[in-house]
Amino acid sequence: MSTTASIQKGPPPRYGAALRPTAAEFAAAIDRLAATPLLSLPLIGPEICAELAAAAQTLPYRRATPVVGEADRRVTQDFELCMDFPADSPFWGFAAALEGLTNAALELLQPRPFPGPFTFNDLIVQRYAPGCAGMSPHRDHIRYVGLIAIVVLAGDGRFWHSPDRSGKGSTEIPSPVGSLVLMRGPDLHARRDRPFHWVDGNSRERLSFGLRHDLEKA
């Protein structure tokens, strides 16, 4: 199923109303990404978190490739993932709601920090088991442009920003349940750099929903 086509069906009104930041507040967060590569902000309350977490438990998962990259670009991955969502999954409607908020926010910023309308055409749920190793420091692929959104639906764990792939000198980015970690992708604010980030410290099952714009799917 095409992610873009499904999102264009539009969100249930309840999801749009459930997003906590106003368009102006979200615009201010996007504007801050000109100077800081990633940040977090409250996005949804416990009811929507619980609804999406329950839906996430019904998805068909597969194990992430344990090691990707080679030599100094080696990344370890210890989690499950799903990118195959049923047609009636609430994740489509939620993605549409966040996409609508994103575009409303972009319209408020002058000069516009990203050319043209923005779409989330790449969706993924990641499930981290208690005690897993998580994911080592890495950068998202260069084809993921504009904005990268990660919504924390359940569990704990720690989300870090690293100066480089070594992980030394990392800064923890608060990511409690219901929060949105917003990262700068290439072409936002005419920047090309991509932040290193990683996840560890899961003592309870962690569920996160990632939304990106993949140039290869555009």
Confidence of residue 218 (pLDDT cuts 50, 70, 90): confident
Model pLDDT for residues 68-109, shown as the tens digit of each residue: 999 989 999 999 999 999 999 999 999 999 999 999 999 999
Model pLDDT for residues 17-36, shown as the tens digit of each residue: 999 999 999 999 999 999 99
pTM above 0.85, yes or no: yes
The tokens 């996840």 sit on which residue? 199
Tell me which residue of 207, 179, 189 sits closest to 21, measured CA to CA: 179
Residues 6+ apart with CB under 8 A from 26: 101, 102, 104, 105
Q: In whole angstroms, give the CA distance from residue 121 to residue 214.
A: 6
Which residues constitute the domain of residue 26?
Answer: 3-217
Q: Which two tokens stand for residue 67?
A: 């090691």
Burial class, 58, CB count within 10 angstroms (exposed 0-12 / middle 13-18 / buried 19+): exposed
How confident is the model at residue 7, as a pLDDT? 60
Tell me which residue of 26, 179, 197, 201 sits closest to 128, measured CA to CA: 201
> How many domains are contained in the chain?
1
Model pLDDT for residues 150-174, shown as the tens digit of each residue: 999 999 999 999 999 999 999 999 9
Model pLDDT for residues 120-150, shown as the tens digit of each residue: 999 999 999 999 999 999 999 999 999 999 9
Please list the residues that pair with 107 across neighbouring strands.
none
Q: In whole angstroms, give the CA distance from residue 161 to residue 170.
A: 5
Q: Is the pLDDT of residue 207 over 60?
A: yes
CATH number, domain of 40, equals 2.60.120.620
Q: Is the pLDDT of residue 1 over 80?
A: no
How confident is the model at residue 12, as a pLDDT? 59
Q: Is the pLDDT of residue 11 over 90?
A: no
